[in-house]
Structure 1
């Protein structure tokens, strides 16, 4: 079976050379999202490898799989391809390790008062000995509790690292159980069997919030999770708790988050995602004391090219052999 593959991503030539070497029977095509697609290619494409660009389903009648270059699918919902029922697969599994490292980096920076220290650096002021002791003494991580909202591959990797620091881990998922549905592409290091976290279904999230010294949000953005962490939920956190959001904008109420940071209810926040991206230059978050801000980089993977190639080759092979695909989206669940 000869498959036609179309890619809209700016991957290097060497990446496609390696794909041709590993899949010589595949007819490979490239295009830029801003260009008009070749109608003949689009009419016969079997696998579309893309990020945001999607054709109208009627223009790609042979399309069998959309391989997304993203872990989330919120930008795809409502498209004709989504409605058509064509299989959609995500990039999930490539970023658990760097995202977990980012989460722990954020927890460590917040625990060690780095936002305040960064303020002193920017102002070129050396704090007095009394201020150093009173305001810059780090919080202890051993014995602290981290709540992880969205407990899948990334959550398990965060749990592994947090446990190594002596932290207690609480995980929130839809079911509250250690179940991995379907076949997934995974470059993480944490197995289900080695997971020590205490798990809760999302209906019991309030219990987790009340116990979380650090709250890490990594749940997919769906209609059920939009606005999941609002003012009422933030008010349940212990005094001085810290919030880390590496999921998507729209899950955590940014207005409520800012209010609780400014009134001292929260001890700090780390935000890699926002309601509006790119974050406007006049956003208060850029200069807000107590906030760590990064430009949606937590999921950038050092081995991205090699891992993406492995995923594409595997799904092309499975498509040709009519086998279950890796990372196929569950439309009912929304991810």
Structure 2
């Protein structure tokens, strides 16, 4: 059986050469803004490999799988592809390690007051001894508690790293149940390192989030954006955090109330923030976040994976093989859950 594969992503020629080498029975088609797919290709495509380009379902009648180049699916909800019921698979499993490393980097930078130190560097200002003691004394990680809102593969890898610093980990998920490292009943793409055989975290269901917030010296948000999580961390939730707590958001904009977070950062209720995602992206040049003291700001880079090309190829080859053999797909989205 010949499968038709269509990709809208700007991957290098060598990537497609390797795909064709590993899957010679697959008809590989590429598209660019200057070379849109023909109606014939659209009508025949079995697997669409894409990110933002989402054709109307009526134009892809043979489609059997949408393989996203993202871990989140919030941009797909509401489209005809979502409503069609055609299976959708995510890129999940490629980024847990770099995202966890980013989270720990943020925790370390915030605890050591690096945003304020960076401001001193920009101003060429050497603080006095009194200023250093008052504003640049670090927050000790050993013995501190980190609350991880979204305790899947990324959350477990954050937990693994945080415990090496002597931190107590509180994990929040929908059910609060401990699941296998591969994640639930659906088969997941797994690069291996994020597996935790003896997970030390204390787990909580989402309806006990307030309890976790009251105990969290550091809050890391890594949940997918769904109707359940939109606005999840608002003013009331931020006010439950201990005075001077730090907030790290590597999930999606719209989950943490940015205005409320900014107000509490400025009045000292929040000790520092690290934001990799925002309500509106790209972040506008006039945004106050660019120059806000106490804020570590990055341009949605936490999920960039050093082995992206090789790992993505492995995932696509595996799902093409499973399509050909009519086997369950890797990383298939649970539409009811929203991810």
Q: Say yes or no: does 1:275 pair with 2:275.
A: no
Answer yes or no: is the 8 Å Cα contact 2:145–2:169 preserved in 1: yes
Whole-Å Cα distance in 1 between the matches of residues 192 and 119 of structure 2?
35
* Deviation, structure 1 residue 192: 4.5
Q: Deviations over 1:103-142 (max 9, x none)?
A: 0000000000101101100100101112112221111000
Separation in structure 2 between the aligned mates of residue 77 and residue 153 of structure 1, nearest angstrom: 22
Q: Secondary structure at the match of 2:172?
A: strand
Which residue in 1 is equivalent to 2:172?
A: 172
- Contact (CA 8 Å) 2:157, 2:196: kept in 1 or not? no
Question: Kindly tell me: are residues 34 and 255 of structure 1, through their superposed partners in 2, closer, same or farther at Cα, counting changes over 3 Å?
Answer: farther
Equivalent residue, structure 2, for 1:150? 150
Gap change, CA 1:35 and 1:21, over 3 Å in 2:
closer
Gapped regions of structure 2 (runs ≥ 5): none
Q: CA deviation at 1:188?
A: 4.5
> How far did 1:186 drift?
1.5
5+ residue gaps in structure 1?
none
1:145-224 matches, cutoff 5 A: 145-179=145-179, 180-181=183-184, 182-224=186-228
Q: Secondary structure at the match of 2:53?
A: coil
Computed over aligned residues only, the root mean square deviation of the Cα atoms, in angstroms, reads 0.9
Does 2:254 correspond to 1:254? no
Q: 1:303 aligns with which of 303, 307, 322?
A: 307
Report the Cα distance in structure 2 between the residues aligned to 1:292 and 1:133, rounded to whole angstroms.
Answer: 21
What are the residue-to-residue correspondences of 1:30-49 with 2, within 5 Å?
Answer: 30-33=30-33, 35-49=35-49
| TM-score in terms of structure 2 length | 0.97
TM-score by length of 1: 0.99
Superposition deviation, residue 193 in structure 1:
2.8
Cα distance in 1 between the residues matched to 2:291 and 2:76: 33
For the residue of structure 1 that corresponds to 2:103, the secondary structure is helix
Match of 1:110 in 2: 110
Between the aligned partners of 1:93 and 1:66, the Cα distance in structure 2 is 17
Q: Which residue matches 1:94?
A: 94
- Aligned partner of residue 334 in structure 2, secondary structure: coil
Measured against aligned partners, the alpha-carbon deviations of 1:48-70 in whole angstroms (never above 9, x if no partner) come to 00001011111111000000000
Once residues 323 and 213 of structure 1 are traced to their aligned partners in structure 2, the CA distance between those partners, rounded to angstroms, is 45
